[in-house]
């Protein structure tokens, strides 16, 4: 079954693909890589290949069996738009999301160019949220690729935030999720980077979700920003 998730902006995770490769500085301390290698050592069958990209077709229909509507993060342990995932398989994933219309599916990629290239070959039903990761100003171009897709809900994961993002174009963006890096070797986040993004979202009427300050012990640093939590998300709409 889809796995309940501790990630603050979703309810569950679903991994029809596992494994990935590093593509930019935000990948340096990848939690999914650490987890995949741990699961391989524990003998978990889906991770026999460790963090090598692996299709998991036996996982495809799991959302159809989950009858309670949930927000489901797709491929928390991979990137659906990795070059090693064929378009035919991506279309199978999209078909399941279309059929499981009572859920909201949240897809996140760093491969924004391939996302745009394949967008016209995919059926973007309203329950599919599409996001890109942007960790610093060097990767703002990913937002432009996202904007050119037909996804009806578009979001940004600005995590791990490694620098200021002072001049974002938030046109047609519905949500920005911000978080500092956590776990071993966590790189620090400057509070002014976070408040500036928050203010940009307020001006542009974009939902703002502050996930965490991060650090090696993220529970101690918490997720309060100027004395409050920020948990804004686009509305959850159950489709008929």
pLDDT tens track, the chain, 240 positions: 467 888 999 999 999 999 999 999 999 999 999 999 999 999 999 999 999 999 999 999 999 999 999 999 999 999 999 999 999 999 999 999 999 999 999 999 999 999 999 999 999 999 999 999 999 999 999 999 999 999 999 999 999 999 999 989 999 999 999 999 998 899 999 999 999 999 999 999 999 999 999 888 777 788 999 999 999 999 887 776
User: Is the backbone peptide bond immediately before 44 cis, with ω within 30 degrees of 0?
Assistant: no
How far does the chain reach from its first CA to its final CA, in angstroms?
23
Would you give the DSSP letter of residue 208?
E
pLDDT given at position 160: 97
Question: What CA–CA distances, in Å, run from 222 to 9, 179, 182?
Answer: 15, 11, 11
> What is the C-alpha to C-alpha distance for residues 176 and 15, in angstroms, rounded to an integer?
23
Overall pTM > 0.75: yes
pLDDT given at position 138: 98
Cross-strand pairs, 183 = none
pLDDT given at position 3: 72
> What is the C-alpha to C-alpha distance for residues 113 and 99, in angstroms, rounded to an integer?
27
Residues 6+ apart with CB under 8 A from 178: 158, 159, 161, 194, 197, 198, 208, 209, 210, 211
Q: Where are the domains of the chain?
A: 58-221
């Amino acid at each position: 079954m889809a796995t309940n998730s501790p990630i603050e902006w979703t309810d569950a995770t679903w991994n029809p693909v596992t494994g990935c490769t590093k593509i930019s500085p935000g990948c340096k301390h990848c939690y999914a890589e650490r987890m995949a290698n741990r699961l391989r050592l524990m003998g978990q069958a889906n991770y026999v290949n460790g963090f090598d990209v692996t299709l998991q077709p036996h996982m495809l229909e799991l959302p159809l069996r989950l009858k309670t509507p949930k927000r489901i993060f797709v491929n928390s342990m991979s990137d659906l738009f990795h070059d090693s995932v064929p378009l035919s398989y991506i279309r199978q994933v999209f078909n399941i999301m279309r059929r499981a219309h009572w859920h909201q599916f949240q897809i996140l990629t760093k491969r924004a160019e391939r996302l745009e290239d394949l967008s016209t070959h995919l059926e973007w039903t309203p329950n599919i949220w599409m996001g890109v990761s942007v960790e610093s100003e060097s990767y703002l171009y990913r937002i432009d690729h996202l904007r050119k897709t037909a996804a009806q809900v578009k979001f940004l994961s600005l995590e791990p935030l490694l620098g200021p993002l002072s001049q974002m174009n938030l046109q047609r963006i519905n949500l920005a999720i911000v978080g500092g890096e956590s776990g071993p070797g966590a790189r620090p986040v400057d509070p002014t980077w976070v408040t500036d993004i928050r203010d940009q979202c307020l001006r542009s009427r974009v939902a703002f979700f502050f996930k965490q300050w991060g650090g090696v012990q993220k529970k101690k640093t918490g997720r309060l920003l100027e004395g409050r939590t920020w948990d804004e998300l686009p509305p959850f709409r159950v489709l008929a």
